[in-house]
A and B are shown apart, each in its own frame.
Chain A
Amino acid sequence: KNEVEQSPQNLTAQEGEFITINCSYSVGISALHWLQQHPGGGIVSLFMLSSGKKKHGRLIATINIQEKHSSLHITASHPRDSAVYICAVQGAQKLVFGQGTRLTINP
């Protein structure tokens, strides 16, 4: 079993829909990152969380340390949000990545 599990692996939605991507982890962490990668592009950090909730524009990230679970929400989704979203946890010595969620938003 992977230390970091994301769901769903693939998600297709219509423009304007509310999107939720989930991340569960099984190891102790000091922080959790949500990352975005566009096709052929580099990796950009969206959020770094150690507790509670953070919001940036239409993106919201939450984390429940007790349940070892985090969610990334996108409100009023847009085709430019189409990308791979990756959850990564900071363990004692290294970052551990989830498999990523490929999000496609159709106009």
Chain B
Amino acid sequence: NAGVTQTPKFRVLKTGQSMTLLCAQDMNHEYMYWYRQDPGMGLRLIHYSVGEGTTAKGEVPDGYNVSRSTTEDFPLRLLSAAPSQTSVYFCASSSFGGRNTEAFFGQGTRLTVV
């Protein structure tokens, strides 16, 4: 099925552990994004990419790394997890800006850091 696939859906990490959240899209979208959603805070942009080989920082990039080695994949890496990174993470993709831009979202990853 076409769309954005995010894995895993749930994860519990211990402080200091590392992990990678995977995001893949099969719509050939140039733009991909990682957001975190916290109660009362709305969606905040962590990192984004405007095409293969590019990445850029969003509002809350500290503690996270990303890469965009292919158009399809945009993994988010937590190098040393902290309790402050407990959140729900959403990956999204969109086609190039313009009147026909559409955005698609993954199902989210609920991460708990203990």
A residues with a Cβ closer than 8 A to B are 30-31, 33, 35, 42-45, 48, 50-51, 86, 88, 90-100
Contacts and interface: CB of A to CB of B under 8 A. Distances in A.
A35 B42 CA distance: 12
Interface in B30-46: 31, 33, 35, 41-43, 45
A30 B105 contact: no
Contacts, number: 68
The 4 closest A-B pairs by CB, nearest first: A43-B105, A99-B42, A42-B107, A50-B99
Contact of B42 (A45, A51, A93, A98): A98
B101 to A, nearest CB: 4
B10 to A, nearest CB: 11
Given A95-B94, A98-B42, A42 B105 contact: yes
A93 B103 contact: no
A48 B101 contact: yes
B48 interface: yes
Nearest to B90: A43
B26 interface: no
Interface residues of B, number: 26
Q: Which of A86, A92, A95, A100: most chain B Cβ within 10 A?
A: A95
Given A42-B108, A45-B104, A93 B90 contact: no
10 contacts: A31-B99, A42-B105, A42-B107, A42-B108, A45-B105, A90-B94, A94-B31, A94-B33, A94-B45, A94-B48
Contact of A90 (B43, B58, B101, B107): B101
B75 interface: no
B108 A30 contact: no
Contact of A97 (B31, B43, B100): B43
Nearest to A91: B97
Contacts of A45: 102-105
Given A95-B45, A97-B43, A99-B41, 17 more contacts: A30-B99, A31-B97, A31-B100, A42-B105, A42-B108, A45-B105, A50-B99, A86-B43, A88-B103, A90-B101, A92-B97, A94-B45, A94-B58, A95-B94, A95-B103, A97-B35, A98-B42
